[in-house]
Amino acid sequence: MFEILLDATVRAGTPILFATLGAIINERAGIINLGIEGLMLIGALAGFSGTYWSGSLLVGVLAAFCASFIAGSIHALITVQLRGNQIVSGLAMTMFGVGITALFGKGMVGLTIDGFKRVAIPGLSQLPIIGKAFFNQDMLIYFSFVLVFLIWFFFYHTLWGLGVRSVGENPAAADTCGFSVSRYRFFAVTIGSGFVGIGGAYLSLASTPMWIENMSAGRGWIAVALVIFAGWSSPRAMLGAYLFGGITAMQLRFQAMGTTISAHILQMLPYFFTILVLVISTQRLQKGASQQPEGLGLPYDREDRK
């Protein structure tokens, strides 16, 4: 019972994990991205079509990454190069994503593909309790584990990572040290958006191997919120994503058991709990030293007199 629940937790949490990781990369460079929901949808549709046309799941994932990368570059152009308002641009990105995927996804509705299959990792998958849930999963889930580590390593052990964190904290300091603020921010936004797209692709390639209009169903917004819960750290993003995944898994379980509680209420629970946890965790954040990048949301203009 617990094993099954844990397994469902990981599967439900993975798309949100990808999206949260992508958003963390954005925000670490100081750019708020409220377009996550739209980028997930773009990734989901691009991933599904890519796999449908080519027959290869890898092509689908790459297509998802590239499509979201390109969509993300619009947000980057507006917020980094043109110093536009990040909130407005992000919201527009979400609306754009919802609209364009509905339009181009019309022909894809009802089609099916062979989605990601489980691949058991020898040895590890035999571990008690966690073995099945974590090591008898599909390749994208394994990739998400690796990505969590890679992002952490990137931020804390590479010069580029230090550059990204610095342009997010104090762009003027990075600038005077010879780092190009606009270049770092641009690529943080686009690459981050690409990973968000893979989160979307997980929905259409692994969770339910088909395209359904608006299939991200608010998960992008949850990811935006989880970034704060995670304190802009990739390992904690994993925790947050699985928390959401866990509650999703539980409410599905309840529904399957046939309770008399309305399905709508049950479906609301993951969102409700995520917000609740968020409120509590931000309360704690405010008391301690804040982990929020100091330059978050602020356009950088070298000649601006602050």
Partner 1 sequence: MTDILQIENIRKTFPGVIALDDVSFSVARGEIHTLLGENGAGKSTLMNVLTGLYHPDRGQIRMAGEKIHFTSPRDSLACGIGMVHQHFMLVPAHSVFENILLALDNVPNFYSRKTYKEKIQKLIDEFNLDLDLNTPVWKLSIGAQQWIELIKLLMRDCQLLILDEPTAVLTPQETERLFNVLRKLKKQEKSIIFISHKMREVMEISDRVTILKKGRSLATLARGDFDESKLASLMIGKDKVPQWQKALQMSDEIVLDIQGLSVRNERGLSDLDDFNLELKKGEILGIAGVAGNGQKALAEVLTGLKNASHGRIMAGQKDITKSNARYSYIAGIAHIPEDRKAIGIAPDMSIDENLIMKSFKSGSFRSWIFQNKKAIRRNAEEKIEQFAIKTGPDGTPVRYLSGGNIQKVIIARELSEQPAVLVALYPTRGLDIGSAGYVHKVIADGADRGMSTILIAEDLDELLKLSDRIAVMFRGKLIGYVNPRKTTREEIGLMMSGETPGDAA
Determine which residue in the list 1, 103, 177, 257 makes contact with partner 1, applying CB under 8 A.
Answer: 177
- Which residues does 204 contact at the CB level (< 8 Å), separation at least 6? 44, 45, 47, 48, 210, 211, 212, 215
Sign of the CA dihedral running 145, 150, 153, 154: negative
170 binds partner 1 (CB under 8 A): yes
284 binds partner 1 (CB under 8 A): no
Q: Which stretch binds partner 1 (CB under 8 A): 91-99, 109-117, 152-160, 223-231?
A: 152-160
Closest contact distance (angstroms) between CB of 159 and partner 1 is: 5
Helix (H, G, I), strand (E, B) or coil at 136: strand
Closest contact distance (angstroms) between CB of 188 and partner 1 is: 15
289 binds partner 1 (CB under 8 A): yes
The residue (of 3 and 169) whose beta carbon lies closer to partner 1 is: 169
Nearest to 27 by CA among 244, 192, 145: 192
Closest contact distance (angstroms) between CB of 123 and partner 1 is: 30
Max distance between CA atoms of the chain, in angstroms, equals 63
298 binds partner 1 (CB under 8 A): no
The residue (of 264 and 305) whose beta carbon lies closer to partner 1 is: 305
137: DSSP letter: E
Burial of 177: CB neighbours in 10 Å, binned 0-12, 13-18, 19+: exposed
Q: Which stretch binds partner 1 (CB under 8 A): 92-100, 194-202, 242-250, 288-296?
A: 288-296
Q: Which stretch binds partner 1 (CB under 8 A): 98-106, 117-125, 163-171, 188-196?
A: 163-171
302 binds partner 1 (CB under 8 A): yes
Determine which residue in the list 1, 2, 284, 303 makes contact with partner 1, applying CB under 8 A.
Answer: 303
Closest contact distance (angstroms) between CB of 157 and partner 1 is: 7
* Residues in binding contact with partner 1, number by CB under 8 A: 29
Closest contact distance (angstroms) between CB of 299 and partner 1 is: 14
301 binds partner 1 (CB under 8 A): no
State the CB neighbour count (10 A cutoff) for residue 38.
Answer: 31
Determine which residue in the list 41, 71, 93, 174 makes contact with partner 1, applying CB under 8 A.
Answer: 174
Nearest to 104 by CA among 140, 76, 63, 69: 63
The residue (of 166 and 251) whose beta carbon lies closer to partner 1 is: 166
135 binds partner 1 (CB under 8 A): no
- 188 contacts 164 by C-beta, under 8 angstroms: yes
Only one residue has tokens 């889930």, namely 141
What is the token pair recorded at 207? 């969770």
What is the token pair recorded at 76? 């980057």
281 binds partner 1 (CB under 8 A): no
The residue (of 83 and 253) whose beta carbon lies closer to partner 1 is: 83
- Which residues does 97 contact at the CB level (< 8 Å), separation at least 6? 35, 37, 38, 39, 40, 41, 42, 71
289: left (phi over 0), alpha (psi -120 to 50) or beta: beta
Q: Which residues bind partner 1 (CB under 8 A)?
A: 157-160, 162-163, 165-166, 169-170, 172-180, 287-289, 291, 293-294, 302-303, 305-306
